[in-house]
Amino acid sequence: MVFTAATLGSAPSASAAQCGNGPGGFERWKQDFAEEARASGHGPGAIDALMGTHYNTATISADRGQKSFRLSLDQFMAKRGASAIVARGRSLKRSQAALFSSIQQRYGVPPGPLLAIWGMETGFGAVLGNQHALSAIATLAYDCRRSDYFTDQLNAALTLIDHGTLSPNARGSMHGEIGQTQFLPKNILNYGGGGNLDNAGAALSATANFLRAHGWRPGAGYQPGEPNFDAIQAWNAASVYQRAIAIIGRQIDGGGGESD
């Protein structure tokens, strides 16, 4: 899910737990991070969960890849199955009309962009990820490329474990995103309201809350150049992803069918 432009290329963390660029230092880093986490007030359950993590080479490979974001818009839409997302999204908009009406009334966000995000992120809940989420996040907190950003995410994950909101064994995607619309831990804390984001209604509400918090204006447009496109940009830093959400959302909401 959510990687804003500001998160790309973060400096190495100034924490006493030193970042690294391979698996060799992970266990020592984990010990040091656990000491810091304990000192900052995280409970024994969260510390035990941290100590149970492993260095996830698949996460590092995925983080260094992300080749689909280099495709053209048409290629990206085809790869992600945009037409299928539109068709399924329109069906869900009808069958779950009461849910989407209540979300729009509360947050001002129409069904289209929410369904576009849901479809793009997990195929409407079909693919929630098979990685050990805490290990993925710990690996990226240790890795020097974006250590500061994922250190914040790891501390948020430990807080969720402290609260009993996140299972230490939760499964997620390659970067540790979890739930129907793939939230990272800090966004669960900020926008998830403590709900279980494996539940579609809770995840869609959290997504609408995120968009509202990033400037969504009820009734305004969300295509490039329109006021609410900024909120869509906050969801993901990749331009091709942003434009795909806008296009798919417009088609679900009943707009034109063009793809550029």
User: The tokens of 203 are what?
Assistant: 């995840």
Q: How many CB atoms lie within 10 A of CB 247?
A: 24
Which residues have a Cβ under 8 Å from the Cβ of 95 and sit 6 or more positions away? Answer: none
The phi and psi torsions of 243 (rounded to 5 degrees) equal -70, -35
Indicate the burial class of 18 (C-beta count within 10 angstroms; 0-12, 13-18, 19 or more).
middle
Taking the C-alpha atoms of residue 114 and residue 104, their distance in angstroms, rounded to an integer, is 10
Taking the C-alpha atoms of residue 86 and residue 252, their distance in angstroms, rounded to an integer, is 6
Helix (H, G, I), strand (E, B) or coil at 163: helix
Is 194 in contact with 163 (CB distance < 8 Å)?
yes
Q: Is-catalytic flag, 177? A: no
The active-site residue out of 121, 177, 226, 258 is 121
Residue at token pair 């966004």:
187
Residue at token pair 């900020």:
190
Q: Which residues are catalytic?
A: 121
